[in-house]
Amino acid sequence: MQIKAPGLAATLADLALDIVQMRQSSTTVDSLPCGLSVRTGPMTKIYGIRNCDTMKRAFAWLEQHQVEYAFHDYKKAGVTAAMLETWASRIGWEKLLNTRGTTWRRLSEDDRANVDAHKALRLMQQQPSLIKRPVLAHGKELLIGFDAGAYEKVFG
C-alpha cells in the first residue's frame, strides 16, 4: 500500500513508534501526540514447557480471562543464567527449583546433595525441567506455579 499524503505517512510512522515505545516501557497512556487514544499495559510473558499439565491450566486461565501473553518454552529455547539469577534474586532459588518432578528424582545423589543457590541455578540451566512451572512475569509481578487466586489478584 502506498500513501500519497506525506504528512499522513509521517503521522502513521510516529504513531507506530509511540505504540512500540509504550509496549517496551510498560506505560499506559490515554492519548498519543497524533490525537488517537490507546490503552496499553505491561506485557505478560509466561515461561515453561508447553505439554506440562500445570502450564495447560495457566494457558486456559489466561485465555479465558482474555489476557494477552507471550510464551517462552524453556525446554526448546533454553533459559539464560541471567534470567535464572534475576528470578532467584526476586523470589528465591528455593521457590524456582522443582524437587517434586521426575527430573529431580533422576538426578544423581551427588547432584541432589548440598544444593545451594549456585548449584541450583546451574542445574536449572542445564535441565530446564527442574524449573517450577509456570513462571509468569507481568510488569513488576513474578508468579511461580499456577494459582488462580494469585492470577486473579494480578489481572483483576
Cβ-Cβ contacts under 8 Å for 72 (sequence gap 6 or more): 45, 46, 47, 48
Active-site annotation holder among 46, 52, 79, 97: 52
User: 34 catalytic, yes or no?
Assistant: no
CA–CA dist 89, 67 (Å, integer):
26
| Residues 131 and 79 sit within 8 Å (Cβ to Cβ) | yes
Separation in Å, CA 110 to CA 14, 21, 99: 57, 48, 14
| Catalytic residue list | 52
